[in-house]
Amino acid sequence: MAAHIGWRGVVSHPPSRLLFVIKSLGIEGGGAERVLSDIVSELATRGHEVTVASFDPAEGTDFYAIGSKVRRLRLAVGDVRASSGPLDFLRKIHALRRLVRAQEPDAAVGFMHSAYVPLGLAALGTRTRIIASEHTPIDHFGSRPLQKLLIRSTASFYSAYTAPTDAVARAYPPGIARKITVIANPVTFAPASSGERAPGRRRLLTVGGLRPEKGHRTLIAAFARIANSRPEWVLRIVGDGPCRAALERQVSELRLDDRIVFTGAVADVGREYGAADLFVIPSVYESFGLATAEALASGLPVVGFADCPGTNILIKHELNGLLVESEDRVASLAGALERLMSSSEQREALGRAGPASVEQYSLRAVVDRWEALLKSVLAT
């Protein structure tokens, strides 16, 4: 059973020497990468000695800023934009083992399997406790049998796991699930003031990596159905990924190049929320739905699918947004979007409820949970 740690009140913890490892912080965008940046910065502010290591090139730069109190190491192993081959995987284990032995951290946290699997192997025989922070539903690995095998076969190496939601935790095998503590991703955006937009235009916004499970193809098809009846609206797609070229072709074939904008990854995504009128998340699944939570915190009404884990725990139907059914995903999404596009009163009413609905995901509350988990692991 996944454990929960209460978030009300701040508990004082003695400072620890902590190592966080992630595959890359230089690649544009990425929810887990932004989560790590926020968490390590706050832990360092609270007095912990924090080091962040990645496999990025030594001369690289980070896409998201990390607090000045955090020590930053780039190990320059392999191609961070590609899957690791056997040789690079062994090189990562070797580099991490040298790092763990040199630093002797009290605990080391691997963010996502691409970091925690080699970290777990690297720390064998040392005194360092390892925490595996998983941000991906287990279904993601259904077509990746080698990755799934590595996750299951190294489960005994970790003192604890974290997952962002109960749904993600419960889906993992029992030997992993019983070691998972549910710690949500932090939401760091306050309600945003209106940003700049073209006169007479309304903006529909979506934020997320351009990957198949994010559902952008469905969104574009749904927007095409209502584009003529809502000529004042534009769709802004923030994010990048392997599906971008195919999605741009879809937009061109629908002759919507002047109505749908691809921005690529954006570091200051808060400005995008501030300039939007309505947010949509067309994903098939989410581990937590960080962009959805940020949109709600920014006071935007949100539309998403009722069968999408990570979306259906955040959107409260008819309270802070709309959850739509999935029998005909394109038609259902188009109908919900047109309903809110046609009524500023409904958008405003739903948007007002957004910030209060995600208060429990504040950075302070989330890092309180991380400190409590670290204290528990180090006391075992």
Q: Can you tell me the distance from the alpha carbon of 112 to that of 83, in angstroms, rounded to the nearest whole number?
A: 13
pLDDT for 13 equals: 63
pLDDT for 83 equals: 84
Indicate if 81 and 108 belong to the same structural domain: yes
Question: Would you state the structure tokens that stand for residue 92, as one six-digit string?
Answer: 């990562």
Q: In this predicted model, what pLDDT tens digit does every residue of 273-303 receive, in sequence order?
A: 999 999 999 999 988 899 999 999 999 999 9
* Bridge partners of residue 54, in order along the sequence: 22, 74
Name the strands in the sheet holding 278-281, side by side, starting at the edge strand that comes first in the sequence. 260-264, 233-238, 202-207, 278-281, 302-305, 321-324
Indicate if 208 and 330 belong to the same structural domain: yes
pLDDT grade, residue 18 (50/70/90)?
Answer: very high
Indicate if 294 and 163 belong to the same structural domain: no
Say whether pLDDT at 6 is over 50: no
Whether 214 contacts 283, CB under 8 Å: yes
Indicate if 164 and 215 belong to the same structural domain: no
pLDDT for 199 equals: 63
Query: Can you tell me the mean pLDDT for 314-328?
Result: 96
pLDDT for 138 equals: 82
Say whether pLDDT at 11 is over 80: no
Indicate if 216 and 227 belong to the same structural domain: yes
Indicate if 98 and 170 belong to the same structural domain: yes
- Looking at the domain assignment, is residue 211 inside a domain? yes
High-pLDDT (> 90) share of the chain, %? 78
- More confident of the two residues 244 and 288: 244
Indicate if 217 and 339 belong to the same structural domain: yes
Q: Can you tell me the distance from the alpha carbon of 46 to that of 375, in angstroms, rounded to the nearest whole number?
A: 14
Q: Can you tell me the distance from the alpha carbon of 379 to that of 330, in angstroms, rounded to the nearest whole number?
A: 51
Which pTM does this prediction carry?
0.80
Q: Can you tell me the distance from the alpha carbon of 150 to that of 115, in angstroms, rounded to the nearest whole number?
A: 12
- Looking at the domain assignment, is residue 11 inside a domain? yes
* Bridge partners of residue 202, in order along the sequence: 233
- Looking at the domain assignment, is residue 96 inside a domain? yes
pLDDT grade, residue 139 (50/70/90)?
Answer: confident
E runs forming strands in the chain: 3-4, 17-22, 49-54, 71-74, 107-111, 129-133, 160-163, 180-182, 202-207, 233-238, 260-264, 278-281, 302-305, 321-324
Indicate if 254 and 349 belong to the same structural domain: yes
Q: Which residue type sits at 122?
A: A
Indicate if 223 and 139 belong to the same structural domain: no
pLDDT for 268 equals: 86
Say whether pLDDT at 192 is over 80: no
- Looking at the domain assignment, is residue 68 inside a domain? yes
- Looking at the domain assignment, is residue 191 inside a domain? no
Q: In this predicted model, what pLDDT tens digit does every residue of 61-83 receive, in sequence order?
A: 999 999 999 999 999 999 998 88
Question: Would you state the structure tokens that stand for residue 256, as one six-digit string?
Answer: 């919507």
pLDDT grade, residue 1 (50/70/90)?
Answer: very low
- Looking at the domain assignment, is residue 195 inside a domain? no
Q: Can you tell me the distance from the alpha carbon of 351 to that of 295, in angstroms, rounded to the nearest whole number?
A: 9
Q: Locate tokens 């725990």: which residue?
A: 313
Q: Can you tell me the distance from the alpha carbon of 311 to that of 305, in angstroms, rounded to the nearest whole number?
A: 7
Say whether pLDDT at 358 is over 90: yes
Indicate if 330 and 276 belong to the same structural domain: yes
pLDDT for 190 equals: 59
Question: Apex CA 372: angle with CA 159 and CA 361, to 5°?
Answer: 110
Q: Can you tell me the distance from the alpha carbon of 317 to that of 298, in angstroms, rounded to the nearest whole number?
A: 18
E runs forming strands in 101-232: 107-111, 129-133, 160-163, 180-182, 202-207
CATH number for 374: 3.40.50.2000
- Looking at the domain assignment, is residue 196 inside a domain? no
For residue 360, the tally of other CB atoms under 10 A from its CB is 12
> Distances from the Cα of 319 to the Cαs of 298, 315, 341, 349, 352, in angstroms?
15, 8, 17, 8, 9
- Looking at the domain assignment, is residue 345 inside a domain? yes
Indicate if 110 and 212 belong to the same structural domain: no
Total of domains in the chain? 2
For residue 72, the tally of other CB atoms under 10 A from its CB is 16
Indicate if 164 and 251 belong to the same structural domain: no
> Distances from the Cα of 325 to the Cαs of 210, 305, 335, in angstroms?
22, 6, 11
**What range does the domain containing 49 cover?**
3-186+362-379
